[in-house]
């Protein structure tokens, strides 16, 4: 049986966060108080399945040193071929890195009037197929209506390392038992084209005129989605990915190295994964799509923020 070491933050408002230190700082619970609400906190993290399936779908887990899938676990980096262990449910690919199998150490919990902060640290690698040692720092900042997630990685080795980061939360809203009834908005002009195995081809077609166009919020309906979009950025950092129901509006902001969002709806359709990521699946084999080489001593940081508020019903109608 997997051992769990859970750390919890809780605000006087009822906002709450639970984190599993033994699984790389995976988030197990998020309860936030919607801005403008007269009620209490609502649970928004939910993969809609059993605990066994929760592990299968990587619910709430931080992803490093790579996000999503590397087919057959093979990648080339600076002229060398590497072979990662195969760990997806079908045993054919390497998936979502191995931070979820790493124990993180709690450095501190800090409470103040506006927010509560949990700071964790740990090391990752070198290991089979990834001979690059990394230092990690994870910071969770809980506010009444928002959660900030900071994942920082430093290359502590003596050669440039490939690093891709991500976070894999599944969201639901209390007014909808299926995501079909919710609206989705993704601020992206293009999407990462994939083949029949959902592996990127390297092409970035325009979303205009396609079923991948969510620039204006629209109902999810029966759509099957397992795809990534590079997000538009501006001087203010860009716009959020939005999940909206009749009662609540959930915003997912992606910052720093998180330049894309991976969206996935599991078969039960009770929740939707909105994953801040540095790039699409198989990014180690497509460095131009979002895998920076991190030089010795250098840092890479991804920052995500989720925020919930009361929905504007006129926008939903």
More confident residue, 3 or 132: 132
b/e map 33-57, b = 16+ CB within 10 Å: bbeebeeebbebbbbbbeeeebbeb
Taking only the tens place, the pLDDT of each residue in 204-238 is 999 999 999 999 999 999 999 999 999 987 656 68
DSSP calls for 254-308: EEET--EEEEE--TT-S-EEEEEESS-TTGGG-GGGT--EE-TT-EEEEEEEEEE
Mean pLDDT of the chain: 92
Q: Does domain 6-316 have CATH number 2.70.98.10?
A: yes
Give per-residue pLDDT as tens, 190-210.
Answer: 999 999 888 899 999 999 999
Q: Is the peptide bond before 126 cis (omega within 30 degrees of 0)?
A: yes
8-62 per-position pLDDT tens digit: 999 999 999 999 999 999 999 999 999 988 889 999 998 655 555 556 678 999 9
Helix (H) or strand (E) holding 313: helix 313-316
**Do residues 41 and 33 lie in contact, with contact meaning Cβ atoms separated by under 8 Å?**
yes
Q: What is the pTM of this model?
A: 0.94
| Phi/psi at 285 (5° precision) | -95, 0
Cβ atoms of 149 and 142 closer than 8 Å: no
DSSP 173-214: -TT-SSGGGSEEE---SB---B-TTS-B-S---B-TTSTT--
- φ, ψ (nearest 5 deg) of residue 50: -70, 165
pLDDT, tens digit, for every residue of 91-106? 789 999 999 999 999 9
How would you classify residue 267: left for phi > 0, otherwise alpha for psi between -120 and 50, otherwise beta? Answer: alpha
Q: What is the DSSP secondary structure assignment for residue 315, as one 8-state letter?
A: H
Residue 292 has what pLDDT? 76
Give every CB contact of residue 56 below 8 A, 6+ residues apart in sequence: 89
Stretch 104-128: mean pLDDT? 94
Residue 287 has pLDDT above 70, yes or no: yes
Tell me what percent of the residues of the chain surpass a pLDDT of 90.
79
Output the DSSP codes for 27-93. Answer: EEEEEE--BT-SS--EE-B--SS-HHHHHHTTTTEEEBS--SEEETTEEEETTEEEEPPP-STTSSE
């Amino acid at each position: 049986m997997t051992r769990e070491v859970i750390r919890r933050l809780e605000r006087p408002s009822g906002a709450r966060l639970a984190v599993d230190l033994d699984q790389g700082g995976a988030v197990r619970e998020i309860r936030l108080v919607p801005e403008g609400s007269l009620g209490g906190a609502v649970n928004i993290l939910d993969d809609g399945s059993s605990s066994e399936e929760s592990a299968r779908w990587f619910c709430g887990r931080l992803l490093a040193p790579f996000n999503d899938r590397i087919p057959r676990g093979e990648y080339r980096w600076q002229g060398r071929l590497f072979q990662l262990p195969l760990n997806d449910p079908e045993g054919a690919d390497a998936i979502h890195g191995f931070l979820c199998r790493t124990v993180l150490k709690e450095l501190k919990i800090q409470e103040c009037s506006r927010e509560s902060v949990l700071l964790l640290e740990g090391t990752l690698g070198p290991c089979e197929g990834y001979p690059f040692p990394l230092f990690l720092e994870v910071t969770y900042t809980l506010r009444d209506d928002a959660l900030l997630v900071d994942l920082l990685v430093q290359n502590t080795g003596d050669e440039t390392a490939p690093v891709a980061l991500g976070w894999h939360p599944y969201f639901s809203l209390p007014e909808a038992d299926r995501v079909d009834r919710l609206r989705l908005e993704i601020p992206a002009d293009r999407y990462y084209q994939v083949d029949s195995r959902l592996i990127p081809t390297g092409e970035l077609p325009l979303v205009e005129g396609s079923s991948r166009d969510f620039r204006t919020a629209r109902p999810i309906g029966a759509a099957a989605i397992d795809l990534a979009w590079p997000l538009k950025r501006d001087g203010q950092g860009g716009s959020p990915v939005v999940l909206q129901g009749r009662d609540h509006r959930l915003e997912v902001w992606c910052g720093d190295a998180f330049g894309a969002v991976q969206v996935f709806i599991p078969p039960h359709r009770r929740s939707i994964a909105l994953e801040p990521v540095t790039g699409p699946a198989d990014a180690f084999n497509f460095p131009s799509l979002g895998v920076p080489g991190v030089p010795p001593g250098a840092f890479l940081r991804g920052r995500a923020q989720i925020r919930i508020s009361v929905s504007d019903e006129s926008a939903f109608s």
